[in-house]
């Protein structure tokens, strides 16, 4: 008998991490804190870069875009989970699930592309410093970001449209805190061979290709740094890309760990827990990594926070005089 398509009347249930009532307030508080830190931390990075003329360079232009994408990335999954915990409901509609998959893939791939573009920027800055301003001109920077957005949108749209062709026969339980593409394909009634083929091809071409590009850029960067005679020059050259290298390592290692652990243990619960690393923790740590390891960013943040607190200090002094 052919599977009956009931996707229009079925609700999916996001099982999350634990069904124990005593743990729900702890999970709610933890994820609410991480979400707020991610949003305000990355927003602070964007405001500091936009208000400091000395940071109007390609590297910080890409960093501002990365911070914006990280805000959207976390906002795609965490608010829905917090809402479900608050209302004691695990339901998400079919349309809501497809929408979540679309934006999750969009911002994940955008993260990958932006990290690749930033690696290319550091490659040009260190390996071709005399031609840096000519190569990394505003037009090219804008074009790189635009192409990243277009490719991410098309890729995400392809996966989402292919999900619409699948049939779901019952009320489905998703052992995750968000609608994850791979989990959805496992729960489908109809044939998912084409969906899996496109998913793995996209992963190899987009994520794998970008990772190879990053490795190539840093192999050239390391070669150039080793050719510098002075120790101070080597330290200065390495410090310009240390923050980006930390984020690349964190993002790719956590994402790779998620899929390797899920493939090895076949445990959806462990996969959901590991997914927290690249969907929530990594975007939250990005502002700290860049602010702690980058003196220019530290100066911009201090200047921005000083401008914000200056009007309040003036008001306080006037009140004291009155």
Q: What is the pLDDT of residue 174?
A: 84
Look at residues 108, 148, 120 and name the one whose alpha carbon lies nearest to residue 213.
Answer: 120
Band of residue 7 on the pLDDT scale cut at 50, 70, 90: very low
- Percent of the chain scoring above 70 in pLDDT: 84
Does residue 52 carry a pLDDT above 90?
no
Catalogue the E-assigned strands of 123-224: 172-174
Q: What is the pLDDT of residue 216?
A: 93
Q: What is the pLDDT of residue 230?
A: 74
Higher pLDDT, 318 or 104: 104
Q: What is the pLDDT of residue 188?
A: 85
Q: Is residue 40 part of a domain?
A: yes
Q: What is the pLDDT of residue 264?
A: 55
Q: Is residue 322 part of a domain?
A: no
Does residue 319 carry a pLDDT above 70?
no
Higher pLDDT, 168 or 8: 168
Average pLDDT over residues 64-81: 94
Lowest mean pLDDT among 20-24, 139-143, 186-190, 209-213: 20-24
Cα separation, 73 vs 112, whole angstroms: 12
What CATH number does the domain containing 301 carry?
1.20.1070.10
Does residue 141 carry a pLDDT above 50?
yes
Lowest mean pLDDT among 30-44, 136-150, 212-226, 254-268: 254-268
Q: Is residue 273 part of a domain?
A: yes
Higher pLDDT, 270 or 239: 239
Band of residue 297 on the pLDDT scale cut at 50, 70, 90: confident
Q: Is residue 197 part of a domain?
A: yes
Query: How far, in whole angstroms, is CA 317 from its chain's centroid?
Result: 43
Cα separation, 276 vs 148, whole angstroms: 24
Q: Is residue 3 part of a domain?
A: no
Q: Is residue 321 part of a domain?
A: no
- Percent of the chain scoring above 90 in pLDDT: 39
Does residue 209 carry a pLDDT above 80?
yes
The number of domains in the chain is: 1
Cα separation, 157 vs 220, whole angstroms: 35
Q: Is residue 5 part of a domain?
A: no
Cβ count near 154 (within 10 Å) = 11
Does residue 181 carry a pLDDT above 60?
yes
Average pLDDT over residues 157-162: 94
Q: Which pairs with CB-CB distance under 8 Å and at least 24 residues apart come from 296-300?
A: 296/54, 296/55, 296/60, 297/45, 297/48, 297/55, 297/60, 299/52, 300/48, 300/49, 300/51, 300/52, 300/54, 300/55
CB contact burial 116-125 (16+ within 10 A = b; e otherwise): bbbbbbbbbb
pLDDT in tens, 20-42: 777 888 989 999 999 999 999 99
Does residue 56 carry a pLDDT above 80?
yes
Average model confidence (pLDDT) for the chain?
Answer: 83
Whole-prediction pTM:
0.87
Domain that holds residue 203: 11-315
Q: Is residue 320 part of a domain?
A: no
Band of residue 310 on the pLDDT scale cut at 50, 70, 90: very low
Average pLDDT over residues 86-113: 92
């Amino acid at each position: 008998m052919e599977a009956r398509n009931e996707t229009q009347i079925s609700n999916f249930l996001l099982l999350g991490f634990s069904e124990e009532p005593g743990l729900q307030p702890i999970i709610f508080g933890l994820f609410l804190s991480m979400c707020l830190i991610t949003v305000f931390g990355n927003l602070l990075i964007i405001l500091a870069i936009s208000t400091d003329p000395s940071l109007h360079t390609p590297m910080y232009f890409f960093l501002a875009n990365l911070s914006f994408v990280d805000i959207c990335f976390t906002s795609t999954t965490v608010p829905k989970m917090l809402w479900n915990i608050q209302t004691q409901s695990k339901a998400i509609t079919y349309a809501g699930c497809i929408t979540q998959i679309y934006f999750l893939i969009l911002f994940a791939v955008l993260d990958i592309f932006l990290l690749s573009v930033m690696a290319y920027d550091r490659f040009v800055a260190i390996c071709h410093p005399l031609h840096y301003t000519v190569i990394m001109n505003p037009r090219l920077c804008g074009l790189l970001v635009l192409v990243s957005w277009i490719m991410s949108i098309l890729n995400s749209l392809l996966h989402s449209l292919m999900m619409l062709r699948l049939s779901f026969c019952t009320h489905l339980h998703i052992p995750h805190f968000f609608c994850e593409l791979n989990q959805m394909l496992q729960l489908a009634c109809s044939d998912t061979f084409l969906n899996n083929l496109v998913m793995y091809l996209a992963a190899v071409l987009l994520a794998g290709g970008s990772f190879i590009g990053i490795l190539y850029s840093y192999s050239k960067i390391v070669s150039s740094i080793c050719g510098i005679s002075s120790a101070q020059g080597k330290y200065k050259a390495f410090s310009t890309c240390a923050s980006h290298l930390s984020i690349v390592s964190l993002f790719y290692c956590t994402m790779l760990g998620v899929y390797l652990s899920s493939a090895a243990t076949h445990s959806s619960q462990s996969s959901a827990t590991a997914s927290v690393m690249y969907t929530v923790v990594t975007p939250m740590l990005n502002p700290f990594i860049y602010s702690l390891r980058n003196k220019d960013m530290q100066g911009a943040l201090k200047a921005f926070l000083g401008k914000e607190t200056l009007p309040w200090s003036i008001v306080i002094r006037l009140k004291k005089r009155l």
